[in-house]
Amino acid sequence: MQHNKLQAWLKTFLVGSLVASLPLTAIADEAAQKGYAIAKERKVRDTGWISSEQSMQMILRNAQGDESVREMRSKNLEVTGDGDKGLTVFDKPRDVKGTAFLSFSHINEADDQWLYLPALKRVKRISSRNKSGPFMGSEFAYEDLSSFELEKYKFTYLRDEACPTDTSVNCFVIESIPTDKFSGYSKTHVWIDTAEYRMHKVDYYDRKKSLLKTLTAEDFKQYQNKFWRAHTMTVVNHQTGKSTVLKTSDIKFNVGLTDSDFNKNSLKRIR
């Protein structure tokens, strides 16, 4: 008799728990689907640029506000069915002149990245374990320089609110959790405007889930009546007080680049 009462109680408890959890599960699934749909639309709207090149100025500031400025140029190639390729070459100042960074992003596997250091006259491969490290002393990590690929994250829609850098525009806020165990981030919160799907702000959280740094994107300009580019991107490290400003100019699209312009073996000869 006692055994039958226990079975009845367990049955009631389990059914009740299942019914109670169904709405939460449905809400979580809906948030994940909406987050993915927003991220996918962002990706779709920035597809078809084929190739590009631009000039850049990188301003490094320490916690005391002291600055150092670097000038560089970069080129990018859109790859069908895989991540994009990128090459960045430093021109100034003299101590970094000739430094070159080559990146092959991938959709379903670890990215390939190499850094040529002219002072050492050797090409250094950036391993997956080290891609969370700082890029040339800046607040950008090597993994920040890879192309955005949907397969590398799990998404969740969080809310709508005014965009932080332009409150006249409304933004989606989504959470992205990297699927790569070697990522330096536990999650990011990304603000994407609801009209053009431009990324306005990113909060990066470290592996201990503390806010590490914030990226803001400003000075947007549209090219070829489709592709938006931010001409000023600022990263502030909340844990060190350091910051990096990346200013982009002279952006050109469809400039006739091919795979041969992105060759690891030619890094030493790039001028």
pLDDT of residue 25: 84
The angle at the Cα of 184, spanning 144 to 192, to the nearest 5 degrees, equals: 50
Closest CA to 215 of 120, 143, 125: 143
Specify the pTM.
0.89
Residue type, 178: P
- Among residues of the chain, what percentage have pLDDT more than 90? 83
> pLDDT for 218-271, tens place per residue?
999 999 999 999 999 999 999 999 999 999 999 999 999 999 999 998 888 877
Residue type, 4: N
> pLDDT for 177-218, tens place per residue?
999 999 999 999 999 999 999 999 999 999 999 999 999 999
Q: Is the peptide bond before 134 cis (omega within 30 degrees of 0)?
A: no
In this structure, the chain runs to a length of 271
In this structure, what DSSP letter does residue 138 have?
S
For residues 229 and 251, the answer to whether their CB atoms sit within 8 Å is yes
Q: Tell me which fold the domain 25-253 belongs to.
A: outer membrane lipoprotein receptor (LolB), chain A (2.50.20)
Give 172's strand partners: 160, 192
Instruction: Give helix then strand counts, H and E, for the chain.
Output: 1, 13
* Average confidence (pLDDT) over 127-148: 94
Least confident piece of the model among 12-16, 116-120, 267-271: 12-16
Q: What is the mean pLDDT of the chain?
A: 92
Residue owning tokens 């962002």: 42
Give 28 or 231, the one with higher predicted confidence. Answer: 231
